[in-house]
Amino acid sequence: MKNNKWLFIRFGLLVASAVMYSMLGPLTEHASPPIGISALMAGFIFGIIGLQFVLAIQFKNRFSAEVWAPPSWNTNPFQMKQPIQCFHLGAWLFITSSFITVLLTWIKSPKYILDALMPLAIGVGLLIGVHLARLLFRSKFKTV
């Protein structure tokens, strides 16, 4: 198996984020305005649709790469010409770090669980959006 520094960097960022959020502990107050199921759905949908909007702009951007690489753990996520890589990492950062917060909040302060779920909803929406983008902008992606 090829040793790839970007896999280790991405994994390191996820671990650092999880450690930081575990040190912050559970949520102890409600957001203002309070988060409800409809707000969670809005965050989830915003993750999917908002990403398509940003990528549509990048699709037309002459400074964007002519061809985008599919999201990969072994690719540099900080390439401005490859925006899908950054959003892929961002989605996983949202999911990983908020999973810790959700778990800690559920154990210690369950009345704030909907507030803790918002970043997770956005992260899952972003991850789905990344995969949807591969279909919507398929002409821009390299075939694998």
- Tell me the per-residue pLDDT of 17-32, one tens digit each, with 9 for 90 and over: 999 999 999 998 888 8
How many CB atoms lie under 10 A from the CB of residue 29? 9
Domain boundaries along the sequence of the chain: 37-140
What pLDDT was estimated at residue 3? 67
Give CA–CA dist 88/144, Å, rounded: 17
**Residue 33 pLDDT class (50, 70, 90 cuts):** confident
With a cut of 80, say whether residue 71 has pLDDT above it.
yes
What pLDDT was estimated at residue 142? 73
pLDDT tens readout for residues 88-126: 999 999 999 999 999 999 999 999 999 999 999 999 999
